[in-house]
Amino acid sequence: MGDRWVLSGVTTARERVDEVAAEFDGLQQTFLLLERDLRQMVNRPVRNIYGDFEPALSSRSTDYVLVVTRQGWRNPLGARRSELQRSAWEFTGEELRRRYWVMADQGQEEESRDVVILTGVSEFTVRFLNDQNNWSENWPPDDQDTSTGTTNAVPVMPLPKAVELTVVHKRFDELSRLFLMPDFDTLAVQTSIAQQGQQDSEGGDEEDQQETGGSEDQTGSDTNNTGNDG
């Protein structure tokens, strides 16, 4: 009888360890997916099913805590779709779910997938660091001017400097992660590359001139030496 109790206790302990390990693995996977969505984000507004523009990053949806447009959606089968993906994070009060759309710009018929990412969640919050290093609970912030001055033009909505995500889990308590946002300035990068190429080219021309001048000096020196020998 004693051996049975010992065996039962070991089995129960092992099951608890496996349960905790599985929940912790799910938590790690959650932050990994959130990191991918934010680190691979592009500042490209999308059109909703009504044809209106929505910002690339938003926390103002009535259904989702966070909505982003990201790049890097692999397409190994060559399906007829973009590598951009529109994804949204929903908190139901106990579950954290991730929905993504097949097309970044949604048509009249919405085609999306919904997956439960993490259970046992009691709270999921997000806040944003603006360019004045102040935290905002919403993005775009209330004072953000998104007007374009042109009908049907794409709204100009800068990204925050950083995003902080906080998950309160029933087993692991509160965990927070801070993600710095990508800041792509295509024009600045292209200008920098062009300037660097021009500098390298000019540097190469100067080296060629120095080598040519050195050869001429050496030739002149050899000629003088020959004349002296004669």
pLDDT at res. 101 = 87
- Residue scoring higher pLDDT (157 or 81): 157
Q: Is the pLDDT score of 76 beyond 80?
A: no
Separation of alpha carbons 46 and 54, rounded Å = 5
Give the three-state DSSP class for 75: coil
What is the predicted pLDDT for the residue at 134?
A: 93
Q: What is the pLDDT at residue 7?
A: 55
Where do we find the tokens 């030739």? 219
SS3 69: strand
* Structure confidence at residue 6 (pLDDT): 53
Give the pLDDT score at 60.
92
Separation between Cα atoms, residue 89 and residue 112, nearest integer Å: 13
If 0-12 CB within 10 Å is exposed, 13-18 middle and 19+ buried, where does residue 68 land? buried
Question: Helix H segments across the chain?
Answer: 2-39, 186-229
For residues 148 and 55, what is the distance between their CA atoms, to the nearest angstrom? 13
- Beta partners for 70? 41, 85
How many residues are there in the chain?
230
Residue 17 clears pLDDT 60, i.e. is over it: yes
Please give the average per-residue pLDDT across 186-206, as a whole number: 52
Distance in angstroms (rounded) separating the CA atoms of residues 86 and 101: 5
Q: Pairing relation of β-strands 66-70 and 57-58? A: antiparallel
pLDDT digits 0-9 by tens, 97-152? 999 987 888 766 667 889 999 999 999 999 999 988 999 999 998 876 554 444 45
pLDDT tier at 186, thresholds 50, 70, 90: very low
Residue whose tokens read 């259970």: 119
Residue 229's pLDDT is 47
Percentage above 90 pLDDT, the chain? 37
Place 73 in a pLDDT band, splitting at 50, 70 and 90. Answer: low
**Alpha carbons 163 and 111: distance in angstroms, whole number:** 28
pLDDT averaged over every residue in the chain:
76
Residue 55: asked if its preceding bond is cis (omega within 30°), the reply is no
Beta bridge partners of 127: 164
3-state secondary structure (DSSP) of residue 133? coil
User: How would residue 181 be classed by pLDDT, with cut points 50, 70 and 90?
Assistant: confident
For residue 21, name the pLDDT band (cuts at 50, 70, 90): confident
- Report whether pLDDT(212) > 60: no
> How are beta strands 85-91 and 95-101 bridged, if at all?
antiparallel
CB atoms within 10 A of CB 139: 22
